[in-house]
Amino acid sequence: MLGIFKKKTAKQKLEAKYQKLLKEAYDLSTTNRMASDQKQAEAAEVLKQIEAME
């Protein structure tokens, strides 16, 4: 119950964004390959930010 009020760290926010971008890229991969590649590139940038934090 106490975990409800905890704030997410910057790393956790980036990890959630990374997962969201990967899912969107996967969903787009069957319909629009160009948009899927763009989402993959965005996810790679977020991953670089995550690795820089460590």
Say if 40 falls within a structural domain. yes
pTM, 2 dp: 0.84
3: in domain: no
Domain count, the chain: 1
CA 29 to CA 13: how far, in whole Å? 24
pLDDT of residue 8: 85
Give the residue numbers spanning the domain of 26: 8-53
CA distances from 22 to 7, 10, 18, 27 (A): 24, 18, 6, 9
pLDDT score of 53 more than 90: no
Is residue 14, in this structure, part of any structural domain at all?
yes
> Quick one: pLDDT at residue 4?
74
Position 2 in a domain: no
Could you tell me which of 36, 1, 10 has the C-alpha nearest to residue 22? 36
Distance CA(14)–CA(25), nearest Å, equals 16
Residue 1 lies in a domain: no
pLDDT reported for residue 2: 63
11-46 per-position pLDDT tens digit: 999 999 999 999 999 999 999 999 999 999 999 999
- The pLDDT score that the predictor gives to residue 54 is 80
